[in-house]
Chain A
Amino acid sequence: MMYGPVHGIGDVSGLSTKHVVLGLLIERPGYGYDLIQRVGSRFSFLGLSENFVYKVLERLEIDGWIEDIGEKSVGGTRRGAPRVTYRATSLGRERFKEWIATPSERAVLRDELQAKLNLSEPDDLPELLAVTEAQGRECMAELATLRRPVLAHVAEPEVPWHHAAVMMVDDLNLRWLQTLVDWLNAICELIEERMERMSDASASSP
C-alpha cells in the first residue's frame, strides 16, 4: 500500500484533510487518481489512503466547495469508470481562505501548519502570518498553564521517583513548546521579510 495507514472519513486526527484536498484543487483542477498522487507526493506525512481521498472528494462536492468541471473522458480511471475532473468553486476558495486564517488545534498544529505552508499562494501570506503569530501567542498562554519545574529535585534521592519522573516529563513538554515557539517565530520572520521584499519589488517596478 502506497499511502500509509487506512483512515475512515472521521478518524484522521483533528487535522482538516478536506482543506488539504481543496487546496490542491485550488492550485489546479484534477481528478481522483491525480489527487491521490499529489497527496502522496506532498502530504505523505498525513498517511491518507486512496479510498479516503475519494471520500473527501465526494464530501467536498456535496458541500459545494468543488464542482465537476464537466469534461469526462471514458476509461480514465483504473476502474474503467468515466474520469471526473474537479475544480474549486468560489465558495471553496472562500472556505480555504478561512481555513488558512483559523488557528489549529495544538495537537495537530505541526501537521496542519505544514499543510498550510505547502498550499498557500502569495496572496495568502498576510493571513498565514497573522495565524502563525496567533498560534505563537497561544503557545505562550499555554506556558502559563505549566508547572514551574524544580529539576534540581530529580537528583535528590529523598524525592520519590514518581515525582521526579513527572518533572522530567514536564521538562519535555516545555522543550517541545520552546521548539514550537521558535519555529513559529522563524516562520513569521521569514514570511514578513518576503512580504516586505515583495512590496519593495512592486514599488520599484514601473
Chain B
Amino acid sequence: MKPLLRLDSVSKSYMRGPRELRILRDVSLDVHAGEFVGIYGQRGSGKTTLLRVAAGFEAPGSGVVTFDGVDVRGIRRRDLARLHRHDIGWVERAGPQSRELPMRDYVALSLYRAVGPAEAQRRAVAALAKVGAEDAADAHWSSLSDTARMLVAIAHALVREPRLLLVDDPTAGLSIIDRERVVGLLRSAAEDAGLGVLMAVPDMPAMLHAHEVRSLSRGRLLAPADPPPNGGNVVEFPGGERSA
C-alpha cells in the first residue's frame, strides 16, 4: 500500500555562527492511512522540525517529502496551500489570534469560504462534540483548561476532514487521565476515521497508544531493535554466566 506521507532521507540544518547545527539527519519514515505513528523525543531532539517538514511548512535541506506519492517540494504554492486546507491537519496549540472568538467560530473559521457560515458552524459544533468538547463551543480560549484547549485544537484540525493529522506534544500539561483521553482520541482518528496520524511526544505512556513507535534523538530517527527471541521484557536475574 502506498504511504500517505513519506519522508525519504530527510536532513535539515541551520547555521549557528560558523557551526552547522544539524536538526534532522537522514530521517526516513512512512505513515499510512489508518495508522497512528508515535515519535518519542525530548526537547531539542528535532521533533517539531520533523513535523513541520512533514507538514510542508519547511522544506527539507535534502531528501524528499511526498504526500500521497507527490513530491511536496515540487508543487506550486497554490497547490501546497490547498494541501494544507484539505489534506493535512495541523493541531495548532496556540489557539486563535482573536481573544473574543467563541470556540465554535474558531473551529468553523476555515470552512466559511467553502461551505458558508451556517454549515461551517454546524460542522464545527459536531467536531467539538466528537472530541468531547461540546461545552467549549461558546467559551473563549483564555477560559479553557489545557485539556479543553487540546481537544478544541484537535477539533479545529479535524473539522476539515484531513487525511493526515500532525500533532506536536499533545499531552503537555495534562493529567494522567486526560493524557489517555487525548491520545486515545488520536488513535481512534486513525482506527475509526482512517486518518494517518503522526504524533511527536516526550511522553512514554502516550507512545504505547501508537501503532508504530520511533525514537528521535540528535536528529536521528531510530527504529526499535528487533525484539529479542524470548518476546522481550525484563529478565530480572540473569544467571551468573556473565559475572566472573
Residues facing A in B163-181 (CB within 8 A) are 176-177, 180-181
SS of A interface (majority): helix
Tell whether, in the assembled complex, residue A12 and residue B240 are in contact, meaning their CB atoms are under 8 Å apart.
yes
* Chain B proximity of A182: nearest CB distance (Å): 6
Residues in A lying within 8 Å of B, measured CB to CB: 9-18, 21, 55-56, 59-60, 105-108, 133-134, 136-138, 140-152, 155, 171, 173-175, 177-178, 181-182, 185, 188-189, 192
Residues facing A in B108-133 (CB within 8 A) are none
* Chain B proximity of A177: nearest CB distance (Å): 6
CA distance A133 to B214 in the complex (A): 13
In the bound complex, residues from chain A placing their C-beta under 8 Å from that of B176 are 151
Tell whether, in the assembled complex, residue B235 and residue A107 are in contact, meaning their CB atoms are under 8 Å apart.
yes
* Chain A proximity of B50: nearest CB distance (Å): 15
Residue of A nearest to B180 (CB): A152
In the bound complex, residues from chain A placing their C-beta under 8 Å from that of B40 are 140, 181
**B143 sits at the interface (CB 8 A):** no
Output the residue of A14, A18, A188, A192 with the most chain B CB within 10 A: A14
In the bound complex, residues from chain B placing their C-beta under 8 Å from that of A150 are 180
CA distance A173 to B232 in the complex (A): 14
From B209, B222, B231, B239, give the contact of A136 (CB < 8 A).
B222
In the bound complex, residues from chain A placing their C-beta under 8 Å from that of B234 are 106-107, 142, 173
Residue of B nearest to A171 (CB): B205
Tell whether, in the assembled complex, residue B225 and residue A140 are in contact, meaning their CB atoms are under 8 Å apart.
yes
Residues facing A in B215-241 (CB within 8 A) are 215, 217-218, 222-228, 231-241
In the bound complex, residues from chain B placing their C-beta under 8 Å from that of A11 are 240, 243
Can you list 13 A-B contacts with CB-CB less than 8 angstroms, sorted by A residue number? A16-B244, A18-B244, A56-B244, A59-B244, A105-B238, A106-B235, A107-B235, A134-B225, A140-B224, A141-B225, A142-B234, A173-B234, A188-B218
CA distance A21 to B233 in the complex (A): 29
Contact A143 B180, CB 8 Å, known A185-B42, A189-B217:
no
CA distance A104 to B118 in the complex (A): 62
